[in-house]
Amino acid sequence: MIQLLKMAFRDIARNQRRSFFSALAVGLGLALLILMASVIEGEMGTAIESSINLQSGHIQIRASSYDEKKSSLKWEDLVENPGASASQIAALEPVKAATPRLYASGFLSSGTQSASARIIGIDPLSPANDPFRNGVVSGSYLDEGDRDSLLVGRPLAEKLNLKAGDNVSLSINTANGDVIDQTFIVKGIYTTNTYGFDNGNVFLPLAKAQAITQTENHASTIYILLKDTSFTDSVVKSLTVTNLQVLTYKELNPLMVDWETMAQSYISIFYMIVLAISASVIINTLIMSVYERTREIGILSAIGMRGGRILILFLAESSLLAVGGVIIGLALGLLATLYFNRFGFYIGNMGVTGILVADTIYAKLTLSNTINLTIMSFIVTMLAGLYPAVMASRMEPVEALRAEK
């Protein structure tokens, strides 16, 4: 076997340029696969994390009749006395935060500019609202006792030409179906670096939101954040609620789950295309090698080398090309992934509704993806070398010796 490897290495070294570019093709294919897998992993991980931390939480408790699309404010569609229930849930060991939130539809106006928005009543002190507290880029965060202040997302503020300290008129629906207009002060402008969220959400202290919408002591949901996503199912089983529904982040983000499945399907097709291109290069290289060495193959057969050993010889050549390609691919793929993991790439507003995609995507390399793609590339390269190896092993010695150099 060692002798066959030496012969294979010698044969590859005969045409160093062709062998190098063949290995480079495999390496570029592997590097591209690693980078794409890392980008998809980072994008989906960011989307899931953003949806959980900003919008859905890990778990929500709602009235069975509540319809999120309508932002209903009827008392029968809301959770009664949500503060007491949230305090009990927050006492559970796996729970990081449990807090009431009230959702209402509204309309902001400033001068001649206006825009629709979702008004969210929050407990400013809850750790669940840290992304908004830490995301304030102008002005200051809300206080629990604020009665005439609100927090506006940066894209929405830019659209209405607002800055911290400006007055803005808010028209908001109430529990009895009326619309109330009130002037508020823009206390702060926040960003979560997620355009789809920041462009449409305005925050008020929960007490003020309940007062203006006439939903005293009621909330749309109890928003629950856990210390780890893996605790979701166990916490759901431990919750005992009456006439309320318990929803997990997967049920609250169906579009995100479908999008993840679709993305994985498309990336699998992309993998196949890249691997097929790499395989075609290897097949072409080894077939050319077979035709160039026809007389040599005939001599080896004539002196007693069996077809099986000739097949192994060419497979050894393809394995050396595969190893070289894998080394190049790992080096290039890791460097590219490390770069995008540090700096990311800005995509801005993708225009995707229902999915919170961050403005900047960072690549996220996982060990399992790296190992799986490396093994896949190696196997495909070896399989690509199978046809030329079989072709060489089946040559008739007499016909091979008659071939012209």
pLDDT at residue 403, rounded to an integer: 57
pLDDT at 78 over 80: yes
Residue 189 belongs to a domain: yes
pLDDT at residue 355, rounded to an integer: 62
pLDDT at 43 over 60: yes
pLDDT at 358 over 90: no
- The answer to whether residues 336 and 396 belong to one domain is yes
Residue 286 belongs to a domain: yes
- The answer to whether residues 44 and 76 belong to one domain is no
- The answer to whether residues 37 and 77 belong to one domain is no
Q: Residue 285: which domain range?
A: 2-51+257-402
- Tell which of 217, 242, 267 closes a domain: 242
- The answer to whether residues 26 and 128 belong to one domain is no
pLDDT band at 151 (very low <50, low <70, confident <90, very high): very high
Query: Do the Cβ atoms of 301 and 395 come closer than 8 Å?
Result: yes
- Tell which of 212, 242, 272 closes a domain: 242
Tokens for 368, please give them.
């399992």
- The answer to whether residues 339 and 267 belong to one domain is yes
Winning range, highest mean pLDDT, from 49-63, 95-109, 312-326: 95-109
Q: What Å distances lie between residue 285 and 29, 116, 180, 295, 392, CA to CA?
A: 16, 62, 75, 18, 13
Mean pLDDT of 375-387: 87
As a whole-number percent, the residues of the chain with pLDDT over 70 amount to 91
Residue 124 belongs to a domain: yes
- The answer to whether residues 279 and 230 belong to one domain is no
pLDDT at residue 16, rounded to an integer: 80
pLDDT band at 360 (very low <50, low <70, confident <90, very high): confident
pLDDT at residue 10, rounded to an integer: 73
| DSSP state letters, 69-83 | GGT---GGGSEESHH
Mean pLDDT of 367-373: 89
Listed in sequence order, the residues at least 6 apart from 79 whose beta carbon sits closer than 8 Å to its beta carbon are 61, 62, 63, 85, 100, 218, 219, 220, 221, 222, 244
**3-state DSSP assignment of residue 121:** strand
pLDDT at 404 over 60: no
pLDDT at residue 4, rounded to an integer: 67
Q: What Å distances lie between residue 301 and 3, 238, 296, 385, 386, CA to CA?
A: 16, 74, 9, 20, 19
H or E element at residue 19 = helix 16-50
Residue 56 belongs to a domain: no
**3-state DSSP assignment of residue 171:** strand
As a whole-number percent, the residues of the chain with pLDDT over 90 amount to 40
pLDDT band at 58 (very low <50, low <70, confident <90, very high): very high
- The answer to whether residues 282 and 381 belong to one domain is yes
- The answer to whether residues 237 and 265 belong to one domain is no
pLDDT at 305 over 90: no
pLDDT at 6 over 90: no
Q: For 249-273, what is each residue's pLDDT tens digit? A: 888 887 776 767 777 777 778 888 8
Torsion over CA of 175, 181, 187 and 189, rounded to 10 degrees?
Answer: 80
Residue 78 belongs to a domain: yes
- The answer to whether residues 34 and 108 belong to one domain is no
Query: Do the Cβ atoms of 190 and 152 come closer than 8 Å?
Result: yes
**3-state DSSP assignment of residue 130:** helix
Q: For 88-120, what is each residue's pLDDT tens digit? A: 999 999 999 999 999 999 999 998 889 999 999
- Tell which of 242, 265, 283 closes a domain: 242
Residue 250 belongs to a domain: no
The total number of structural domains in the chain stands at 2
| DSSP state letters, 316-378 | HHHHHHHHHHHHHHHHHHHHHHHHHHHH-EE------SSS---SEE-----HHHHHHHHHHHH
Residue 60 belongs to a domain: no
- The answer to whether residues 228 and 153 belong to one domain is yes
Q: What is the mean pLDDT of the chain?
A: 85
Angstrom distance (rounded) from CA 18 to CA 215: 75
